[in-house]
Structure 1
Amino acid sequence: MNLVRVFLTAAFLASTAMLSHAVEAKEAPVALDGNCAVCLVNGKKIVKGKPEYKVVFDGQTYLFPSEKVKQEFEASPEKYVPALKGDCTVCYAHHDGHRNPGTIDHISFYQGRVFLFPNEQIKAVFDKAPPKYSDVDLACDGKCIVCKVDGGKDVPGKAKFTAIHKGMRYQFPSEAVMQKFQASPDKYISQLKADTSTSSTTDAASQLVSVTGTTGCAACQFGVHPKQDPGELGLAVKSEDGKIYVIEGAHKSHPSLYDSRFESLKVKVKGKEIASKGNFVWLTPQSIETVK
């Protein structure tokens, strides 16, 4: 009987240890290299946190030097977390939403927020024009996603009702609406994407575009890639009004022109718009002609 009890006890301890390791393996990664987010925002100081004072927020573990500072973070975490969950806002803006992690070694402060970058060169781009990059993490242009999905209305949100989800800031007109989003954020995000995709596809299908401009490299010069072949650098056409048209499949349909895209050739493109974002438009070409 004693041997059985010893065996069962040993088995229990072993399974407990395995479970403990599994939980540790699944723990949210430590944010800011373990430095205190509150200290960064309030004092612009890098202060190491302690494992005994930790908070898991938006999939990351934040460490603090004391219980008091930890509680300050818990009271309003959206005030202290780094922009875009610590990813580079400049990279996000120039690479069509690509998430590239920043580091605590390359940090900027703007309007009470913390921004991280992968190197000093990209940090310098942000520092030169922070308003251009500081709100790339503001979802729906600051409008209420719940109001849009549930009621089809564009309702401006308020900064004091901000929820963070996967590094993006969502704003709402009231706390009640914000809590509705927080209860099931993925539901609203996926529904909005589905609605937007349907709308964009319908609009783009009927929109035939004709544009004249000069050629260039989409990725090298403008930081964007084709939608259908994102591994390609892409052919871009910059129109006189400053818009950038990314020509889908040009490396296959017009290989000679594609190889000469750095020569700033003047061309006329006709095609269907498949997507647009800000100053960028993606076209499936029907014809491309060189203009003399």
Structure 2
Amino acid sequence: MKHNKFLAILFMAFSLLQTSTTTFAADTANNTVGVHGYDLVAYQTVKTAASGSGRFTSIYKNVTYLFASEANKKVFEENPEKYLPAYGGYCAYGVSIGKKFDGNPLNWKLIDGKLYLNLDTEIAGLWEKDLATNIEKANIAWPKIQDKLPAQL
């Protein structure tokens, strides 16, 4: 009888541990670091890709953004939509062809105050050959693919 009680308690403890671990994993998966930790404000203010710091963070729409300074963090928090990259930070050229490729924060371009990222230098070159058309295509494709996983495309 004592052996059965011990097994029941052990089973409950293990179940509780599994539940809390699962919850933690889900929370981590839903709160990611945006733009690989680069400072979104720096693209527009100093026209460079600057690494952010874990000391200056802001969470917006369940994504954690890092900033190079407290001042940049505050600027972002005043108007986050102004600084967010197009297409959720995915590769702009990829979106224009209906795909979701990782946007590389070192392959960027500001157009009319909007930050666009691309996968790499070669892809950025393809995208820049016909910016207006590629942006138009991406703007049409994005609402159709934004809620899909990259593997579903």
The corresponding residue for 1:98 is 99
Structure 2 SS opposite 1:134: helix
CA contact (8 A) 1:110 1:130 kept: no
**Counterpart for residue 124 of structure 1:** 125
Structure 2 CA distance for partners of 1:69 and 1:105, relative to 1, 3 Å: closer
Could you tell me how far apart the structure 2 residues matched to 1:134 and 1:43 are?
24
CA shift digits 1:121-157 (9 cap, x unpaired): 21001222211223455479xxxxxxxxxxxxxxxxx
The answer to whether the 8 Å contact 1:89/1:136 transfers is no
What are the superposed Cα offsets for residues 83-142 of structure 1, whole Å, 9 maximum, x if unpaired? 111111222222xx32111112322222222211112221001222211223455479xx
Aligned to 2:37: 34
Cα distance in 1, alignment partners of residues 70 and 107 from structure 2: 27
With a CA cutoff of 8 Å and minimum separation of 6, indicate the structure with the bigger relative contact order. 2
CA drift of 1:51 comes to: 1.6
| Structure-2 residue corresponding to 1:84 | 87
1:45 counterpart (40, 45, 48): 48
TM-score in terms of structure 1 length: 0.38
Larger Rg: 1
The unaligned stretches of length 5 or more in structure 2 are: 1-16
CA deviations over 1:37-92 (Å, ceiling 9, x no partner): 00012221122222232122234211112222111111111111111111112222
2:71 aligned to 68, 71, 83, which one? 68
Which of the two has greater helix per residue? 2
Partner Cα separation in structure 2 for residue 31 and residue 126 of structure 1: 22
Instruction: Provide closer, same or farther for how the CA distance between residues 85 and 42 of structure 1 changes in structure 2, counting only shifts above 3 A.
Output: same
Counterpart for residue 24 of structure 2:
22
Indicate the percent of aligned positions where both proteins have the same amino acid.
23
Q: Is the 8 A contact 1:35 1:63 kept in 2?
A: yes
CA contact 2:96–2:135 (8 Å) conserved in 1: no
| d(CA) in 2 for partners of 1:35, 1:119 | 16
Contact 1:83–1:137 (8 Å) recurs in 2:
no
Kindly indicate whether residue 41 of structure 2 is the aligned counterpart of residue 57 of structure 1.
no
CA distance in 2, matches of 1:56, 1:136: 30
More strand by share: 1
Please state whether the residue corresponding to 1:101 is helix, strand or coil. coil
The match for 2:9 is none
Cα separation, partners in 2 of 1:64 and 1:115, compared to 1, 3 Å = same
Question: What letter is aligned with 2:24?
Answer: A
Which residue number in structure 1 is paired with residue 108 of structure 2? Answer: 107
**In the alignment, is the contact (CA less than 8 A) between 2:38 and 2:50 conserved in 1?**
yes
Change (3 A) 1:52 1:137: farther
Distance 1:86 1:101 in 2: 7
